Structure 1
């Protein structure tokens, strides 16, 4: 075991595109939730056995919507139960630029957090309003400056493209501004309109005007070109970093390795089993109280699922799937299971089948979902 994901499902506001498990923080049982979260972590460690945790990622929701007192409760639980070593490789917390202040940043740093992931999305204030964000561009500059003063040397900025009303010029400006902040890491995702979101409801009514598919492809090309030009290397379809600052936690997912998933709505993958936690707060807390675990689903991952996941997760990485690692994991070479699929995709110019790795071509990155689906038998 190397990684733990911890979900804090509370937000000061709900963004129009977000389909993660989240709740308005006002009048929510935050303190009771943190008690249940600690109990879930403790019970899981007791059941699965103690192992070193190398990466921790606290996501949401908005973890920094918690007060300093509540963050202290959370961090005490993490250190008491998970006992992350003093040499923990990566301890990340997601944050909204407008939720941060010097006190919270100082506390997080002292608690062992060494990486911040800021939800910026765009540096166009009008676009921020359209997507339901409440921060402004100036807040990002203030947050980054305060984080640097607090001693953070690993900052990631999240950006989005394909937003309603967004043009390539908007994106170009946002990229240039983001790069001027000299962050160590950038995650740049295209908008996906998910059910149960404000954007989905608008789309159903014909009131959501998105860039054309061709424009979205141009935007992705623009992202890759700008990052490369500034020496920020792409290491995954949507992720870019300075050398040595790749997200070690997210690489756990893409390398198809095991991780704990704690909190309401979290998913875990431990000892060959996938778990899905209850999303509603009352149900989550009741299950932890009654059964010790909040699972609504718990299932063994079949051999077939494991090899499929190894391919479509591994191919997200620029390096692709390592053939030697695949054979060590599954006892046979990739070709024993996917020879025809690999050959077909290679002929289409979507895959590069090298001596040691199978990876996406540039064209393959643009048609990633099509490639990934090819490995689902």
Structure 2
């Protein structure tokens, strides 16, 4: 069995920081897109461990479009474990939640980002603080098993006090999972263009580190346990789908601009919606494939696995690659352990708290081509 990611590339509004494959939904051929998505999904094996519908904004679909897609998924796939769906708080109506529940969605991931209404406007979000509370309360009242929220820090004009307040407001909600991400300025986003023109000021990196450190310390004394660099969960509510990525396991991707990793090969679907539709109608939406080399796979195994607090298993590495981890990364492990950035035990290797603070620097050490 494996996992599946489905991409819905439509939004009612484009956020200023977002670089995902997305398009304003107005005047888009949404129904034809769903036709093609269903056609593509029909080619994927039906036994699925985890399924995640992301975007874009899946809740930008109207009730009829959402039900048609979810009904097909429920009929087509045997989902063994986790069925997640992204949602915008202001679009998450009771009717949409009931449709999701009817067809097996058991985990919702809400794009909250912040509770500060002024910052939400700056981010281009369409919701306000009161929408967040309503969405969570409604989802729980309708028996969605697990509710997660995304938060962001290192935002323009954001202070440490605002981050603290966001966390307190999150902890006051009946939620099960928190993802907390630092803003990254990605090319081709509105924020990136504003920054290059000198029109956008970000908190300095020292303050960003303080924000991250406070997040870890505050959630450590709550019901949430950190299990990955940016993710915290109550017991039993870790994101099983995202763990597929961090454990470098294979998965299918469907939809415009989606990625997949199957039989040692990564593939990338055509991104523009009209081109995706035409490609599916002609029989194949894949734009590009890449055969992952053994060296690349070992690199990914290390820097993805080390994102998790539990780290990586020496036995898993030996099973996958037929060689001991020290034979490939011995010098790196010795260096990082001496710097107290990782811990090396008989069974596992994992990052220390200090290592997680500079995770990207640690990960770069495992790039064999450098």
Give the TM bin, normalised by the shorter chain.
Answer: over 0.9
The yes-or-no answer on 1:343 pairing with 2:337 is no
Q: Deviations over 1:88-123 (max 9, x none)?
A: 311000000000111111111011000000000001
Q: Does 1:324 align with 2:315?
A: yes
Q: Name the CA distance, whole Å, in 2 between partners of 1:178 and 1:111.
A: 28
Q: Which residue of 1 aligns with 2:250?
A: 258
From 189, 194, 204, the equivalent of 1:202 is: 194
Partners of 1:357 and 1:182 lie apart in 2 by 34
Deviations 1:142-166 (A, max 9, x none): 1011111111120001000000000
Q: Are positions 1:79 and 2:74 aligned together? A: yes
1:185 aligns with 2:177: yes
Query: 1:122-157: CA deviations, max 9, x gaps?
Result: 011111111111210000001011111111120001
| Corresponding residue number in structure 1 for 2:214 | 222
Stretch of structure 1 that moved more, 72-81 or 204-213: 72-81
The answer to whether structure 1 residue 52 and structure 2 residue 44 are counterparts is no
Deviations 1:193-242 (A, max 9, x none): 00010000101101111011000000000110111110310000000001
Pair 1:373 & 2:364 matched: yes
How big is the alpha-carbon RMSD for the aligned residues of Structure 1 and Structure 2?
A: 1.0
Using structure 1 for the length normalisation, give the TM-score.
0.96
Q: Distance in 2 between matches of 1:76 and 1:174?
A: 36
How many pairs were matched up? Answer: 368
The equivalent residue for 2:92 is 100
* CA distance in 2: counterparts of 1:131 and 1:298, whole angstroms: 34
How far, CA to CA, are the matches of 2:279 and 2:74 in structure 1?
24
Counterparts of 1:1-377 in structure 2, within 5 Å, are: 1-43=1-43, 45=44, 50=45, 52-81=47-76, 83-85=77-79, 88-290=80-282, 292-377=283-368
Distance (whole Å) between structure 1 residues aligned to residue 223 and residue 144 of structure 2: 21
CA shift, 1:76, in A, is: 2.5
3-state SS of the aligned residue for 2:111?
Answer: strand
* CA-CA distance at 1:353 after TM superposition: 1.0
Deviations 1:18-42 (A, max 9, x none): 0000000000000000111111122
What secondary structure sits across from 2:203 in the alignment?
coil
Matches of 2:177 and 2:259, distance apart in 1? 24
* CA displacement 1:293-318 (0-9 Å, x = unmatched): 21111121111111111000000000
Counterpart CA distance in 2 for 1:311 and 1:240 is 21
Judge conservation of contact 2:46–2:78 (CA < 8 Å) in 1: no
CA contact (8 A) 2:136 2:174 kept: no
- CA offset at residue 51 of structure 1? 5.4
Q: Which runs of 5+ in 2 are unaligned?
A: none
Alpha-carbon distance in 2 for matches of 1:349, 1:4: 37
Contact 2:17 2:190 in 1 (8 A): yes
CA distance in 2, matches of 1:372, 1:169: 30
